[in-house]
Amino acid sequence: MKTLAVIPARGGSTRLKNKNIYPLKGKPLIRWITETVVESGCFEKVLISTDSDEIFNAVSDLPVQRHVRPEAHATTKATVLDAMIDLMQGQSGFNAFAYFLPTCPFVSVDDIKKGFEILANGQCDSVVSMTEIPETIQLACLMSQDNSVLPVFDNLEAGLTNSKFIKKYYKPSGAFYMGLWNYLLENKNFFKRKTKGVIVPPERSVDINTLQDLKYAESMT
């Protein structure tokens, strides 16, 4: 299955300036995921989609190519998915597509291979890295302007006292999204039809967007 991998990394960032090249243990942040994607050996082509020479230069010695991110997709208003669909429309000859966020540096080669194998085996239309939500979601409540408490889930009282009501909930970890080429171009969504997940443990699901996130990541490596 010929698959294109893209690592989107725009130059501007609001919460952590130049975060995609911010040093993590002496290595630019984007280099962590780029090395892992290349090492996985799953992809025919790896593109760095960026508007920044400095970002691309941080990984230009690796077997990757640059896609110059259009100005329209290099702003804070542009979604990653919009930019990826636009990029796909300029490529051809691929059966599948994957993108990886440079802010999730600790995803492993095995995580990537597991997702790739699930997609290649025809089990689904897309595969997303998932991680468990640590909080007890069943205890979630909304509060109105007059401070009235509104439970989100039924059986809140039971959830407080009986562990059998406590289920595990998951969310996208942000590390990777993979999908069949034609499916993505048609639906522009990774969750439209049959989606499978690869569970990535918390220590490999760190998503760096602030200086506090970076300090936490430094403490883990």
What structural domains does the chain harbor? 3-132+171-220 (3.90.550.10), 134-168 (no CATH)
> Which of 217, 55, 187 has its CA nearest to residue 125?
187
Q: What would the pLDDT profile of 114-168 be if each residue is shown by its tens digit?
A: 999 999 999 899 999 999 998 878 888 999 999 999 988 877 765 565 666 677 8
Q: Does 9 score more than 80 pLDDT?
A: yes
The Cα–Cα gap between 91 and 77 comes to: 24
Cα gap 188→167, rounded to integer Å: 30
Q: What is the pTM of this model?
A: 0.86
The closest of 81, 71, 120, 126 to 101, measured between CA atoms, is 81
Per-residue model confidence (pLDDT) at position 130: 97
Q: Which two tokens stand for residue 130?
A: 């998932």
Average pLDDT, the chain: 88
DSSP β-bridge partners for residue 179: 97, 126
pLDDT of residue 53: 94
pLDDT value at 28 more than 60: yes
Task: Give me the pLDDT at residue 156, please.
Answer: 72
Check: CB of residue 111 under 8 Å from CB of residue 198: yes
What's the alpha-carbon Rg for the chain, to the nearest Å? Answer: 19
Which pairs with CB-CB distance under 8 Å and at least 24 residues apart come from 113-116?
Answer: 113/40, 113/42, 114/198, 115/176, 115/178, 115/198, 116/3, 116/40, 116/42, 116/178
Sequence letter at residue 164: K
What pLDDT does 143 receive? 95
Tell me the average pLDDT across 49-71: 90
Shortest CA distance to 18 belongs to which of 54, 65, 68? 54
Band of pLDDT at residue 14, cut at 50, 70 and 90: low
DSSP string spanning 28-88?
A: EHHHHHHHHHHHH---SEEEEEES-HHHHHTTTTSS-EEEE--GGGSSTTS-HHHHHHHHH
